[in-house]
Amino acid sequence: MSLSVPVDLLALRRRLWLYRLLSLVLALSLGALLVAVRLAMVGLGDPEVEVFDVPARFEALARDNPDSSDVSQTYFTEDTASVHMHVMGRGQACPLHIHRRSHEATIIVTGQAEVRQVWGDGEGLAHRVGVHGPGELIASPPFTGHAWFNRAPDRMLGNLVFSWPPFDGNLYVDGEDARMRTGTAPFVHVPAAVLPSLREGVREERLPALDGRMSSVLLASGVHALAASRKAPVVVYVAEGEGAIEAPDARPVKPGQLWVLRRDATLRAEPGHPLALYVFRPGA
């Protein structure tokens, strides 16, 4: 009897070490599995080609939020830039505000936007008021004041907002805020006004928007190459026309699409339907 106690203790100690070893192996295996799942999720969430039908997204948001004054949906965000849709309710206004860091360029998706902008002009402030429709771009540099109005009592307003650096909220100001004196002149681009001048070929023009990272591309014939990668993505918005993007498979292009490209692609216009596009290179 006196010898059985040490033997039992030794057996228990062996079992305990075995359980500890098994627990360690299980924990390491579980950790490796979690890391693999996370990497797989990152890969799945960051595809080489994404395409969003922005007008359809707007209609869904408006249908699901009929009484909201403001709704947003983000399509692209990185350390350097962001792209989101801002839906304004019927008869709603976004009061005068500035951005201290971000350059902002907004493309009208659907509806009519009345935009007031205020910036520095010598010792005083300059003012601009305009009404803009689908496909038009309105750009406001940092500290340039801007206010948005949806005057329609029966229709929401959809705006696609590009920000570089990423959108970080609005700083609301009154009409005489001295900080707007450091703002510079805004910029407006109307594709419908320039597209008829292109009979053939392609024309790419860097716009004074988003600190030079936004371009206008007009494509009437031939092809236009877009260099993109995961480290240097390119965001494309189709304002007018029809065609295809090959990346590598050909997919149809139509107005209102937002493309996020993380690989090289080729644009081609449908004969008789020249393309007008905005190309945003956030890492340029």
Domains of the chain and any CATH numbers: 54-191 (2.60.120.10), 197-280 (2.60.120.10)
Q: Give the pLDDT score at 31.
A: 67
Closest CA to 277 of 222, 208, 224, 232: 224
Polymer length of the chain: 284
DSSP 64: H
Q: How far apart are CA 2 and CA 23, in angstroms?
A: 33
Q: Walk along the chain (284 residues) and give the pLDDT tens digit of each residue.
A: 444 546 566 677 777 777 777 777 777 777 677 656 555 544 445 799 999 999 999 999 999 999 999 999 999 999 999 999 999 999 999 999 999 999 999 999 999 999 999 999 988 999 999 999 999 999 999 999 999 999 999 999 999 999 999 998 899 999 999 999 999 999 999 999 999 989 899 999 999 999 999 999 999 999 999 999 999 999 999 999 999 999 999 999 999 999 999 999 999 999 999 999 999 999 97
Q: Are strands 275-280 and 265-269 parallel, antiparallel or unpaired?
A: unpaired
At 234, is the secondary structure helix, strand, or coil?
Answer: strand
CB of 261 closer than 8 Å to CB of 233: yes
Q: How far apart are CA 201 and CA 223, in angstroms?
A: 8
Burial of residue 188 (CB within 10 Å: 0-12, 13-18, 19+) is middle
Q: Which residue has the tokens 């709603």?
A: 92
Within 10 angstroms of residue 80's Cβ, the number of other Cβ atoms is 15
Query: What spatial distance separates the first Cα and last Cα of the chain, rounded to whole Å?
Result: 83
Closest CA to 170 of 149, 151, 147: 147
**What counts of helices (H) and strands (E) characterise the chain?**
3, 21
pTM: 0.84
Q: How far apart are CA 109 and CA 193, in angstroms?
A: 17
227-268 pLDDT, tens per residue?
999 999 999 999 999 999 999 999 999 999 999 999 999 999
Closest CA to 270 of 222, 203, 204, 205: 222
20-46 pLDDT, tens per residue?
777 777 777 776 776 565 555 444 457
